[in-house]
Amino acid sequence: MTVRKRILIVLSYYHPYISGVSEYAKMLAEGLAAHHDVTVLTGRHLRTLPRTEIIGGVTVVRAEPLFFLHKGYVSLDLASKFRRLAKDAEVVNFHLPMLDALWLTRIAPRRARLITTYQCDVQPANGWLDRVAVKAVNMGARICIRRSEKVVALSHDYATGSSLLSNNSGSVVEGYAPIKDIGLPSASRLGDHGDFPVVGFLGRFVAEKGIDVLLSAFERILMTYPNARLLLGGDYKAVAGGSIYPQLKSRIEGLGKRVELLGRIEEADLPKFYARLDIFVLPSVNAYEAFGMVQVEAMLAGVPVVASDMRGVRVPVQLTGVGRLAPAGDAEELAAAIIEVVSADSRRERADVRLAAIEVFSNRAFIQRYLSLIDTKEPQ
């Protein structure tokens, strides 16, 4: 019988903030909570959030940010709370990138085991202040990785191209990602009842998602399918580091009723969203996107995917054989891939798409990978 351990998960943003990092951490924390005592330490990014609460069997402790910098923040309160909580933790799980990891790693108790989750590389920023922040984030990541017993990367494909991980191959393990499985929607695809495909996107409105490339691709798709629809789901207002919606607003409005701006989609409404789609597109353009959990979520809902052919991001399509890949940032190739997948000759049944995805991605296996690391201590 495994003895319950005290695990402290530390990251910049957590639920209800929505991002790949926060969703990954939430599903990990709640999965581990069935086996161990889990506390999440994060920032109180909204003043309306309680400082402490229980979510899904996980104790969530939020610290007050002092000021925000690039996509992160500096918080003296976070350091204070970390020092207190880490004293009782047997395992500390950092989720990088995280600006505060630079000093939190240094004050972590030597007896605590560090198992770090490396979510993605940080991209070069504009402006001297942002460049300083990026350098600090990378410095903290290097210190944290050296101090860690193991480092979980979302895929070996992503890790081998990361300057921070490629030199630490001995400690890096492949973890993939947890996936929100909403099941097969009961409704048929909207496009099944007309002569038009319905293209979907779901994610924050940030530069790395390549939404501008998707809009350019959609304009090309309209030449083949004049009645095509584009559904844009995801938060375009409360976005850390700023939303790019103001730069896209006129282009979206110029496409008229062919584009629907849906905003944040609550979990209960996801089946309705995926039920409307013929294809899901993940047009990410840089290494902030390391896997793209949402594309597997779409596959599990029976929707084929077109994703950018980038390290990490291409893994779900390669492993499942569902959908196509397109060069990152290439609107013409993205449009061609979408048209190919939605064509009558290429169309696959929803149940077949789901089966291909579920054979590869299992949340139970994901949690077991972490449990094997937590419950098996590395020799010193």
Average pLDDT over the chain, rounded to an integer: 90
Give mean pLDDT, residues 154-180: 87
Task: Indicate the CATH number of 6-178+362-374 among 3.40.190.80, 3.30.930.10, 3.40.50.2000, 3.30.450.20.
Answer: 3.40.50.2000
User: By three-state DSSP, how is residue 372 classified?
Assistant: helix
pLDDT score, position 127: 76
Residue ranges per structural domain of the chain: 6-178+362-374, 190-358
Structure tokens at 339: 């048209």
pLDDT score, position 273: 95
Q: What is the distance between the alpha carbons of residues 184 and 271, in angstroms, rounded to a whole number?
A: 8
Structure tokens at 78: 């976070």
Q: How confident is the model at residue 75 (pLDDT cuts 50, 70, 90)?
A: confident
Give mean pLDDT, residues 256-277: 93
Higher pLDDT, 66 or 202: 202
89 burial type by CB count under 10 A (0-12 exposed, 13-18 middle, 19+ buried): buried
For the stretch 337-355, pLDDT in tens is: 999 999 866 678 899 999 9
Q: How confident is the model at residue 130 (pLDDT cuts 50, 70, 90)?
A: confident
Higher pLDDT, 49 or 166: 49
pLDDT score, position 139: 93
For the stretch 349-372, pLDDT in tens is: 899 999 999 988 888 889 999 999
pLDDT score, position 318: 96
Give which of 175, 170, 171, 179 is closest to 155, Cα–Cα: 175
pLDDT score, position 169: 64
Task: Indicate the CATH number of 190-358 among 3.20.20.70, 2.40.70.10, 3.40.50.970, 3.40.50.2000.
Answer: 3.40.50.2000
